[in-house]
Amino acid sequence: MNNKIIFGILALIIVGGGLFLILGNNSSNNKQQTLADENTVYSTGDVAQHNQKSDCWTIIDGEVYDLTSYVPRHQGGDDILAACGVDATSYFNGEQAGDSGRTQNHSLNGTALGDLAKLKIGSLAN
């Protein structure tokens, strides 16, 4: 009887330890994947391929962002489409207006900066 209990506890430790190792490894892989993605280097040509509402990448201050998921919830509406496929630093800094002729200095806006940071996918090649 005692042997059965000891065997049961050992089995639990082995199975539990195995699961912990597998799950632990997976989450550290995911973390590395995320970091690797953000460190990817793109050319202006790469970004230019993503120049539409349904697939919109942009460059701001030398960093590359995938705006696709953000376009439908941009508070300035479709003005953001002027950024798709190009370097939008001048738009973001309010130095150049969007298609509707409106613009604002986003670089002073905490919400815009915070939203942008979450969309980073890499940097521009030198």
Distance CA 41, CA 121 (A): 9
> Which residues within the stretch 77-106 sit at the binding site for ligand HEM (CB under 6 A)?
79-80, 82-83, 88, 91-92, 98, 102-104, 106
Of the candidates 114, 126, 121, the residue with the CA atom closest to the CA atom of residue 58? 121
**Total of residues contacting ligand HEM (CB under 6 A):** 23
Closer residue to ligand HEM (CB): 31 or 102: 102
Tokens of 126: 């030198």
DSSP code of 95?
S
75 binds ligand HEM (CB under 6 A): yes
Q: Which residues pair with 124 in a beta bridge?
A: 42
Nearest to 20 by CA among 28, 10, 8: 28
Q: Which of residues 6-65 bind ligand HEM (CB under 6 A)?
A: none
Write out the residues near ligand HEM by the rule CB under 6 A.
67, 70, 74-76, 79-80, 82-83, 88, 91-92, 98, 102-104, 106, 109, 111-112, 115-116, 119
